Each structure stands twice: as structure tokens, then as C-alpha cells.
Amino acid sequence: MSNFFETDIKFLKGVGDARAKVLASELGVATFRDLLYYFPFRHIDRSRFYAISELSGTDMPAIQIKGQFINFHTDGEGARKRLIGVFSDGKKMMETVWFSKITTFSTAYKPGVDYVIFGKPTLFRNAYSIAHPEVEIYDASKPPTGFRGVYSITETMRKRGYTTRLLQNLVFNLLSHPGYEGITDTLPPEVVARYNLMPLKSAIRQMHFPENAQMLQKAMERMKFEELFYVEAHILRYSMERGSKLPGFLFAKIGDKFNGFYFNVLPFQLTGAQKRVLKEIRADMKTGRQMNRLLQGDVGSGKTMVAFMSMLMAVDNGCQAALMAPTEILAQQHFASLTEWARPIGVKVALLTGSTRAAARREIHAGLLSGEIDIIVGTHALIEDSVQFHLLGLVVIDEQHRFGVAQRGKLWHKSEKVPHVLVMTATPIPRTLAMTVYGDLEVSVIDELPPGRKPITTLLRYDSNRMEVDRLIFRELRAGRQIYIVYPLIEENEKLDLKSLEEGYQRTCDTFPGYRVCFVHGKMKPAEKDHQMDIFVRGEARIMVATTVIEVGVNVPNASVMVIENAERFGLSQLHQLRGRVGRGADQSYCILMGKIKSGADTKKRLAIMTETTDGFLISEADMKIRGPGDMEGTQQSGLAFNLKVADLARDGQILTRAREAALAVLRGNPSLLAPGCVATPAMQGDMTPLPVDHFWVSVMASELSMRFARTVDWSQIS
Ligand code: ADP
Ligand code: MG
């Protein structure tokens, strides 16, 4: 009965042409299926009347209470004026509150009349109140409407008189449509049976009109499973096709350059993790298939060396390699390290950035085309059309999150044959997320820091501890160390933030006279910013006052203190990244989180996690749990092929695991089951068509998501 699903929404009882247009343009609901899958964003319990004494906890659903208004009075002045109605259920009293239309509401409800008030109770000063409740006269003949969904509707719709109730009615009409009984399940029957899932027909019904909490839960589980099943099927299928279709360079041997470097030049012992990752990369590059690998390693874990040695594998096999960095300074740092390592073994490294002069640029272009240059390090300048390679075999992208999709695609097309790709990031991706999104991309992890590093001491301090913090900074300055002081910069509050940053700069200069302080923020001209960064990197400035523009990956081993102001305004992952700027030398380093003494318990708990662990994975998982799924929204705009509607990667890890297992089984058994048109859910609509063979697709979507995850607010302001 697929034509039931495809039926134009205008044919639904209660819709018609005009409403159909609004539903399509405002909600993207154009067919019966769209509406069936337009699930409520929250549910309300109108299955019974609650007693005021039953209210508990801080996260009550919206509920209804039957009773009478005892009196009305106003409180507060001017903009804070509000109307308070005291409501009694016969046993206990509570307040209802209105912040607007005060005169209207103060006379709207009569004493002695039984009303039903409805809304979400909030706890304030130990008492519950309901703000702007829905109020109706109690009607004993009206049966309880049960558990229902609340639908999100747009402002435009609201203005045109659309309500959640109208949508409820429309959904109700649709569920009563004789065609609905005939719908077929979107999951293979074996899967439904094996995983004990609620059949689609009941699940959709329960999502909109739950009988009770248990049924709703079961329905949710089913819809989440379905969504994740198709996402996984999609990724797995892509990966199977790609695996069989995409040939890559075959780097058969480990040659002289690699060995010469390894035995004679390598300035330290590789860590066990570095060795393991190099083996993984080596194994990939000798399969004859194109490598698409993500290398995750905490800040300071030594990813650059892994990149360099992988590049030597390419060079030993007659290919060139490119290392692309997001900023000029980072490219320069990489160039300096790589040149030092490469010179003794006769490997030629060049640097190409936006500021490379024309003459030098021409020379580099020629060297790349002739193959004289083995390794090129650079910024966006590498993807200009004039840059052509003799034979590019490996591309390493460092701290990928700041390249746009199109830019990466461009670098890609520089090579006739698809080069191997290694994307390096210090952003730890939670395991559940990695599994879904990196379904195709292989992931390597460096989970060990080079020896001899002292763990960073993380302290949570408040304004009242300023003196103590200043003393610590003084002590480190006198010992010759360098200091970072970081301020948040959140766009909505830009002016205010800039002011606090400037004040912080002034205060720092006043407090530590005799030490040069540099100043960096995202609104600066790039040249000025580079200059400020540069004097810090060279040690001329001893303190840097900055917003989070502090370059990802910048290596100043002499820096030993990271002070983060208004730490409560940063995400945990971001704090972790910032903390990673220190602790790169052999000295004890400190990360000082300046918190607000008045912050809530949750905020304090969050910051305390930072003082308890330096494990980036634990931190990112905690972060994701705390922030919840909201931050995962918007994945669609970023070019992700899917956008989860019901599932929540932070919480639904177990469902994900089962869904993936099921998808794999189905694909192995009978991939045609998942052919386009055979099944469809809104999550996957249009997505089941074969993907364009864009080799960067998976790494792009992975990195875009990790970018969202890292949520480093003002990076976008830099370039
Ligand atoms: P990241 O992973 O953050 O990019 P880097 O590659 O910049 O880290 O490495 C950080 C520092 O550690 C560099 O100075 C690098 O030379 C050094 N390093 C890397 N690997 C080792 C090792 N195995 N032993 C000692 N020092 C190392
Ligand atoms: Mg790095």
C-alpha cells in the first residue's frame, strides 16, 4: 500500500489545498507519510487529573489539575509585573502566573467555578507554579483525552491559527483513514520479530496518541531502531560498494627513506600507540585500496610524527605527499619540524601558504609538477587550481574541522588516482557517534602520551581566589614560563565579551608589569593576529590574552599555565582542547578554570569533571550526555546525509548496536531488501539512492559532525 504513504496531504479530511500548502512549506509535510512521521516533540499527560500534592521533581511533564481559583493579585513592578492566581484542588494550593495580558486574565476566571488548568509545573522557591496555564471550565461529560503529543508549529502557522490541537486532529483523521490499516511495516518482518519490536502500525499510533507511558516507550524504541537501522544500512552499503570499487595506490615496500629516518634520525622512541597506528596505516596502504583513515589523538600525543612517517612510506614508493594545516602558523610549525626531520635523509619539503611570494610560488609549483618536491606543507593555498602534482599519493589533513567541504573536495580532485587520506584530529569523538558516522572511515587512536610528561594539574578557582592565581602566574613567569589567559567569546554577546576581554588584557598588563603581554581575538585582521601569535610562539611575549582563537595545535612547550576565564561558558570538550595547549614540556603545568561561585550545582559538577580526568574520551562522552541531542541538530545543513529525528546518539547506544547488527545481517543476506523504493522512512527519504562516489564524503561528514561537536564558537571568525 505504498500509495497510501505517498498520497498528497491535501486529500486528508480537514486539509484541502490551502492547508496543504502551509503544511508543506512550513513543516515539510507534503504526503500522508510525512504527517505520520511528524512526531510530537514532547508528550503531555491528560489521561487523568493530578493532585497538587503529587507534583514532584524538577522535570514534570505538562499535566492537568482540577480545582478553583481562590484569588488573584499582582506582584512586582514595571516589566517584572506579573499576575498571580492562587489555585486550589480542594486539598492544597498552588500559584498560577501570567506575565502578560494581566488585566485580561485577572478578570477572566470566576471564583466558585471548577476549572481544569493545564501546563508544566515548575519548582520555584520550594513551591510549584504553572506559568500561563491553559484553563478550561471543567466538563464532567468530557472524557480524559489521554496522553498526547505536542507538535512543533512555526510562528507563521501560529499566526494563521494553527494549533497543536489542529495537528492532533489531522493526525487522528489520518490514523482513522481506512488505508492506514493496510500499511506495511518498513522493517523486514524477521527484524521486527527477532528484536521484539512494536509493529509499525501500532508504533506510529502510540507515538501520536500513547495509551500509557510503557506503550509510548516501546513505540519510541521501535521508531529509534528503524531510524538507526536505515542510517546504518546506508553507511554499511556505501562502505561495501566503496570497498569493492575504489582502487588506491599500492605502497608495497618500506624503503630507504623510512628506514634511514627510523634508524638514524628519529629523535626519540616512538610510543607504543604511535607504532601501532603506523602499522595500521601501513597495512591500509598496501592493500591496493584507497585508505580513508581518521587519526584521533589527544593534544600532544605526537600525531605529527605519525603523519611524517606515513608520508615517508609514500615517498619510498615514488609518490608525493601533502600535509594541509588550517592556519599559516600551524603550517609553518609543521614545515619547521618536517624540514628538520627530512633533511638528513634527503627528502625535499616545501612550504606553500597565502603569504608565499610570487617567485617562490612559481618555483614550488614547478617542483611539485616535476616531482622534485617530495612533501608539501601548506594551508588553503594548496588547493588553488595552479597547484598540480607529479604524483600525489597521500594527503594528510591536520585538525580538519576548519576546512570547508568544498575545499577538501578540491584538494581531492588534484590527483588522477585517488590518494590515501589521513585526517588527524584531537577532538575525541564519542564511541557511539564514531560508530555511526565513521561507519566507513577507519579510525586509529593514539591513546598514549610520550613519556616524561607530567600530568597537568587542573584547578577550579573563583574570583575570591584571584590573588592565589596571580601568585601562581608570577611564580611561573619568574621561572621563565609562558602563560595563556583565555576569555569566551560568544557571538550574541559580542560587544560585552570584547569589553571583558579588553579589561582582562588591561588588568593583566597592570598586574604583571615588566612582562610583555600579547592580545589575540577573532575580530582582528589576520596579519595582526599572526603577528601577535608569532611573538608569543617566539617567546617575546610571555603572556597571551586571547579568545578561543588560540590556534589548534600550536605548540609552545614553554607555556605552563592556562587560565580560562568564565569557564562555565565553555563546553567540556572545548575546555579539554584549551587545556591541551599546556603540558607540552617537561615541567609541571596548570590549567586554572575560573568559575562563578554562584553557578548552579550542575555547572560545578560539569567543571569538576575537568579536575578529575584528563581522558579526552571520558570528557567528550560526559559532554555529550550533559548537552544531550540538541547539539547534534543541524547535521543536515552540514552536508550529512541523515538527520536523526527520534534517536539520540548520546543515549541510544544500545539500540544503535542492535540496529547496526540487524542492518549488517540484512545486507549480507539480501541487500535488495534495501533497494530504493522498497522501504522508506522520512529519515532516509531520498537517501537510499546510491551516493555519488565522492571519495571525501564520509570523512567530510565525519569531520563536519566533529566540528559541531567541538563547538568552538568563534573559529568561524578567523578565516
Ligand atoms: P599533536 O598530536 O598534538 O599534534 P605533536 O605532534 O605536536 O602533537 O607532538 C607534541 C610534541 O611531542 C612534539 O614536540 C613532538 O616532537 C613530541 N613527540 C612526539 N612523539 C614523541 C615521542 N614518541 N616521544 C617524545 N616526544 C614526542
Ligand atoms: Mg598537531
pLDDT tens digits for 323-337?
A: 988 778 788 889 989
State the CATH class of domain 457-613. alpha beta
CA atoms within 13 A on the CB side of 425: 25
- Ligand 1 site, residue 296, Cβ cutoff 6 A: no
User: Which pLDDT belongs to residue 184?
Assistant: 82
Whole-angstrom distance, CA of residue 311 vs CA of residue 314: 5
Atom of ligand 1 nearest to the CA of 269: 23
User: Average per-residue pLDDT in the chain?
Assistant: 80
Atom of ligand 1 nearest to the CA of 305: 6
CA atoms within 13 A on the CB side of 685: 13
Query: Per-residue pLDDT averaged across 400-411, rounded?
Result: 49
| 98: its cell numbers | 501570567
- Ligand 1 site, residue 616, Cβ cutoff 6 A: no
| Residue of higher predicted confidence among 44 and 295 | 295
| 512: its cell numbers | 604583571
**3-state class (DSSP) for residue 387:** coil
Find out whether 286 and 253 touch, Cβ atoms under 8 Å. no
Find out whether 462 and 595 touch, Cβ atoms under 8 Å. yes
| 169: its cell numbers | 486532529
pTM of the model: 0.61
Where are the chain's structural domains?
A: 256-446, 457-613, 653-719
Atom of ligand 1 nearest to the CA of 580: 3
Share of the chain above pLDDT 70, in %: 79
- Give the contacts of 338 (CB within 8 A, at least 6 positions apart): 304, 308, 323, 349, 375, 377
How far, CA to CA in Å, does 164 sit from each of 104, 170, 208, 654?
23, 10, 12, 32
Strands (E) in 472-607, as ranges, are: 482-486, 517-520, 543-546, 559-564, 590-594
Residue 59 has pLDDT above 70, yes or no: no
Give me ligand 2 centre to Cα 423, in Å. Answer: 11
- Ligand 1 site, residue 149, Cβ cutoff 6 A: no
User: Which pLDDT belongs to residue 231?
Assistant: 77
Q: What is the pLDDT of residues 78-131, one digit of tens each?
A: 666 789 999 999 999 999 999 888 888 989 999 889 999 998 888 776 789 998
**Exposure string for 65-86, b = 16+ CB within 10 A, e = fewer:** bbbbbeebeeeeeeeeebbbbe
| Residue whose C-alpha is closest to residue 292's, from 711, 706, 715, 696 | 696
What number of helices (H) and strands (E) belong to the chain?
A: 24, 22
Q: Which ligand is nearest to the CA of 301?
A: 1
Q: Which of 337, 555, 558 to mutate to test the pocket of ligand 1 (most atoms within 8 A of CB)?
A: 555
Question: Which residue's CA is the nearest one to ligand 1's atom 22?
Answer: 450
Query: Per-residue pLDDT averaged across 37-64, rounded?
Result: 82
Paired residues of 135 in beta bridges: 117
Atom of ligand 1 nearest to the CA of 303: 2
Paired residues of 247 in beta bridges: 289
| 521: its cell numbers | 581575538
| Residue whose C-alpha is closest to residue 128's, from 117, 136, 137, 138 | 117
Question: Which residue's CA is the nearest one to ligand 1's atom 17?
Answer: 302
| Residue of higher predicted confidence among 65 and 525 | 65
**3-state class (DSSP) for residue 11:** helix
| Residue whose C-alpha is closest to residue 241's, from 249, 233, 230, 253 | 233
Give me ligand 1 centre to Cα 553, in Å. Answer: 11
Give me ligand 2 centre to Cα 175, in Å. Answer: 56
Query: Per-residue pLDDT averaged across 391-395, rounded?
Result: 89
DSSP conformation class of 134:
E
- Ligand 1 site, residue 305, Cβ cutoff 6 A: yes
Whose cell is 615514488? That residue is 318
Question: Which residue's CA is the nearest one to ligand 1's atom 16?
Answer: 302
Whole-angstrom distance, CA of residue 434 vs CA of residue 325: 23
Give me ligand 1 centre to Cα 302, in Å. Answer: 3
Whole-angstrom distance, CA of residue 592 vs CA of residue 594: 6
User: Which pLDDT belongs to residue 515?
Assistant: 96
Q: What is the pLDDT of residues 481-509, one digit of tens each?
A: 999 999 887 555 666 667 788 889 999 99
Burial of 279 per CB tally in 10 Å (0-12, 13-18, 19+): exposed
- Ligand 1 site, residue 450, Cβ cutoff 6 A: yes
Atom of ligand 1 nearest to the CA of 446: 2
- Ligand 1 site, residue 302, Cβ cutoff 6 A: yes
| Residue of higher predicted confidence among 318 and 695 | 318
| 33: its cell numbers | 507519510
State the CATH class of domain 256-446. alpha beta
Give me ligand 1 centre to Cα 583, in Å. Answer: 11
| Residue whose C-alpha is closest to residue 198's, from 216, 180, 211, 176 | 216
Question: Which residue's CA is the nearest one to ligand 1's atom 1?
Answer: 300
Predicted confidence band of residue 242 (pLDDT cuts 50, 70, 90): low
Q: Do domains 256-446 and 457-613 have the same CATH topology?
A: yes
Cα-based angle 425, 426, 432 (whole degrees, multiple of 5): 85
- Ligand 1 site, residue 583, Cβ cutoff 6 A: no
Find out whether 558 and 481 touch, Cβ atoms under 8 Å. yes
Question: Which residue's CA is the nearest one to ligand 1's atom 23?
Answer: 270
Give me ligand 1 centre to Cα 375, in Å. Answer: 19
Whole-angstrom distance, CA of residue 204 vs CA of residue 175: 9
Whole-angstrom distance, CA of residue 68 vs CA of residue 290: 72
DSSP conformation class of 132:
S
DSSP conformation class of 717:
G
**3-state class (DSSP) for residue 29:** coil
Q: Which ligand is nearest to the CA of 297?
A: 1
Report the run of H or E that residue 478 belongs to, with start and end.
helix 466-478
Burial of 496 per CB tally in 10 Å (0-12, 13-18, 19+): exposed
User: Which pLDDT belongs to residue 633?
Assistant: 27
Atom of ligand 1 nearest to the CA of 307: 6
Residue 409 has pLDDT above 90, yes or no: no
- Ligand 1 site, residue 297, Cβ cutoff 6 A: yes
| 384: its cell numbers | 588553488
| Residue whose C-alpha is closest to residue 710's, from 402, 442, 448 | 402
| Residue whose C-alpha is closest to residue 649's, from 665, 666, 633 | 633
Give me ligand 1 centre to Cα 321, in Å. Answer: 20
Give me ligand 2 centre to Cα 239, in Å. Answer: 29
Residue 376 has pLDDT above 90, yes or no: yes
- Ligand 1 site, residue 419, Cβ cutoff 6 A: no
